[in-house]
């Protein structure tokens, strides 16, 4: 049985002003339908034998998260973090909880800020990963990179793994392929990323598959502080219907560290399953422009927006009428109390902008 672990914390500041502390990007409905968090849970409906998902988020988002799960007709354990400590503590606590449900389940760790357009290819990759994961490896899913993106982890594949039983049907294609990981590097600088692209590295999709016990042993080996704090937090947990609350002190005392930096960069047990499933990380407004339905001028316009003599803009209005005239390559996002106007190529820097805004209060 696979227990899904859905990571739903963090605020996604690069989608400001739409994403706010009270409604981070993964809980927003970006195209007026389901949120990316809900799409993540939906993908599991076709995976077959899955256990009750463990969703990890922070306290202030608990009602929004619970409501979005209920709206899907699903149920989950919702772990409430007293504070954001990044993904290593979140995954470790989920492994402790899920490890208690079953003997030693496989955990499928799913970020909630992705879009996947080819569900079948994704499900096939997960099936492929089950073999090495059950054998005690930390399975990553690698994406063929398109540009030297600095916001991702990079994976250098090594030797092919033992191939599993021959494919049952012709359309299974290259299903079954996986490789050892020679190197895992989280968020390199641009020059290094360019080298990696030339050397055949893959992007880390941020989705992982492993046994709960294997992950816990690797966290204990490479991030003992996180391991100790999470064990304390787990022992002090309190259940209140679907919510699992963690005691503040041991949890917040843990270092803030991503699973990529805490474990994946150091472990000798990583394996990569290459995956071509139309994967996209919705990290910034330019990712939404890339994936949006553009008009003949390359503009992606959402809500009450009109444009004239403008090209390659992403413009979105949540209420007021927005008009573009004679501008190119802009991101314009209108909300009730804030408006963003930015060069599309600088969309990543919205994060720094928001940091500055927070400082000013």
Q: List the interface residues with ligand GDD, window 159-178 (CB under 6 A).
A: none
Cβ proximity to Mg ion, 39 vs 113, nearer residue: 113
Which of 113, 218, 260, 334 touches Mg ion (CB under 5 A)? 113
φ, ψ for residue 33, nearest 5 deg: -115, -125
Which of 13, 43, 78, 86 touches ligand GDD (CB under 6 A)? 86
φ, ψ for residue 281, nearest 5 deg: -95, 125
Q: Is 203 in the site for ligand GDD (CB under 6 A)?
A: yes
Min CB(81)–ligand GDD separation in Å: 6
Min CB(41)–ligand GDD separation in Å: 12
Q: What does 175-229 look like in DSSP terms, one character per residue?
A: TT--EEEEEEEES--HHHHHHHHHTT-EEEEEEEEEEHHHHHHHHHHH-HHHHHH
57 binds, among ligand GDD, Mg ion, none (CB under 5 to 8 A by kind): ligand GDD
Q: Is 19 in the site for ligand GDD (CB under 6 A)?
A: no
What is the contact mask toward Mg ion in residues 241 to 280, using x (rule: CB under 5 A)?
----------------------------------------
Q: How many CA atoms lie within 13 A of 54 on its CB side?
A: 27
Q: Is 113 in the site for ligand GDD (CB under 6 A)?
A: yes
Min CB(178)–ligand GDD separation in Å: 18
**Binding footprint of ligand GDD, residue count (CB under 6 A):** 27
Min CB(111)–Mg ion separation in Å: 6
Is 152 within 8 Å of 187 (Cβ atoms)? yes
Q: List the interface residues with ligand GDD, window 249-268 (CB under 6 A).
A: 260
Min CB(87)–ligand GDD separation in Å: 5
Q: Is 129 in the site for ligand GDD (CB under 6 A)?
A: no
Q: List the interface residues with Mg ion, window 275-304 (CB under 5 A).
A: 281
**Binding footprint of Mg ion, residue count (CB under 5 A):** 2
260 binds, among Mg ion, ligand GDD, none (CB under 5 to 8 A by kind): ligand GDD
Angle formed by the axes of helices 224-235 and 212-222, nearest 10°: 130
Q: Is 64 in the site for ligand GDD (CB under 6 A)?
A: no
C-alpha dist (Å) from residue 170 to 161, 167, 173: 21, 7, 6
Min CB(169)–ligand GDD separation in Å: 31
Rounded to whole angstroms, the Cα distance separating 84 from 33 reads 27
Classify residue 174 as exposed, middle or buried by CB count within 10 Å of its CB (0-12, 13-18, 19+).
exposed
C-alpha dist (Å) from residue 222 to 6, 199, 219, 260, 268: 23, 27, 5, 11, 11
Rg (CA), the chain: 21
Classify residue 175 as exposed, middle or buried by CB count within 10 Å of its CB (0-12, 13-18, 19+).
middle
Q: End-to-end alpha-carbon separation of the chain, Å?
A: 47
Min CB(159)–ligand GDD separation in Å: 22
26 binds, among Mg ion, ligand GDD, none (CB under 5 to 8 A by kind): ligand GDD
Taken in order 250, 255, 260, 266, is the CA torsion positive or negative?
negative
Which of 16, 122, 141, 152 touches ligand GDD (CB under 6 A)? 152
φ, ψ for residue 231, nearest 5 deg: -65, -45
Rounded to whole angstroms, the Cα distance separating 1 from 214 reads 16
Cβ proximity to ligand GDD, 119 vs 167, nearer residue: 119
Please identify, among the stretches 60-68, 200-208, 233-241, 328-336, the one whose residues bind ligand GDD according to the rule CB under 6 A: 200-208
Which of 2, 5, 9, 133 touches ligand GDD (CB under 6 A)? 9
Please identify, among the stretches 124-132, 203-211, 267-275, 350-358, the one whose residues bind ligand GDD according to the rule CB under 6 A: 203-211
Give the residue from 80, 88, 81 showing the smallest Cα distance to 109.
88
Rounded to whole angstroms, the Cα distance separating 214 from 361 reads 43
Query: Site residues (CB under 6 A) for ligand GDD?
Result: 7-10, 26, 56-57, 81, 84-87, 90, 111-113, 151-153, 186, 203-206, 260, 281, 283
Query: Site residues (CB under 5 A) for Mg ion?
Result: 113, 281
């Amino acid at each position: 049985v696979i227990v899904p672990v859905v990571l739903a914390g963090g605020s996604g500041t690069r989608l400001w002003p739409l994403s706010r502390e009270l409604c981070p990007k993964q809980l927003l409905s970006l195209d007026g339908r389901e949120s990316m968090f809900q799409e993540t849970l939906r993908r599991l409906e076709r995976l077959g034998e899955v256990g009750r998902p463990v969703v990890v988020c922070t306290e202030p988002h608990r009602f929004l998260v619970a409501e979005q799960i209920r709206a899907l007709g699903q149920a989950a354990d919702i772990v409430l973090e007293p504070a954001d400590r990044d993904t290593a503590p979140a995954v470790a606590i989920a492994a402790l909880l899920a490890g208690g449900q079953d003997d030693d389940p496989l955990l499928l760790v799913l970020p909630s800020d992705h879009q996947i357009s080819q569900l079948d290819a994704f499900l096939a990759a997960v099936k492929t990963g089950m073999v090495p994961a059950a054998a005690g490896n930390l399975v990553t899913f690698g994406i063929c990179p398109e540009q030297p993106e600095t916001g991702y982890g990079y994976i250098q594949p090594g030797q092919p793994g033992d191939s599993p039983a021959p494919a049952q049907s012709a359309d299974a294609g290259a299903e079954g392929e996986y490789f050892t990981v020679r190197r895992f590097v989280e968020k390199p600088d641009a020059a290094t990323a360019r080298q990696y692209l030339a050397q055949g590295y893959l992007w880390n999709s941020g989705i992982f598959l492993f046994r709960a016990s294997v992950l816990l042993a690797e966290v204990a080996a490479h991030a003992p502080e996180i391991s100790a704090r999470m064990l304390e937090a787990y022992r002090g947990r309190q259940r209140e219907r679907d919510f699992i609350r963690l005691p503040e002190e041991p949890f917040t005392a843990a270092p803030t560290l991503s699973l990529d930096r805490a474990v994946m960069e150091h472990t000798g047990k990583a394996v990569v399953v290459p995956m071509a499933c139309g994967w996209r990380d919705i990290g910034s407004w330019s990712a939404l422009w890339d994936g949006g339905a553009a008009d003949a001028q390359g503009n992606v316009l959402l809500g009450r927006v009109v444009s004239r003599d403008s090209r390659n803009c992403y413009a979105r209005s949540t209420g007021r009428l927005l008009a573009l005239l004679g501008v190119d390559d802009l991101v314009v996002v209108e909300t009730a109390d804030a408006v963003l106007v930015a060069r599309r190529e600088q969309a990543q820097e919205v994060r720094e902008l928001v940091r500055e805004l927070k400082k000013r209060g």
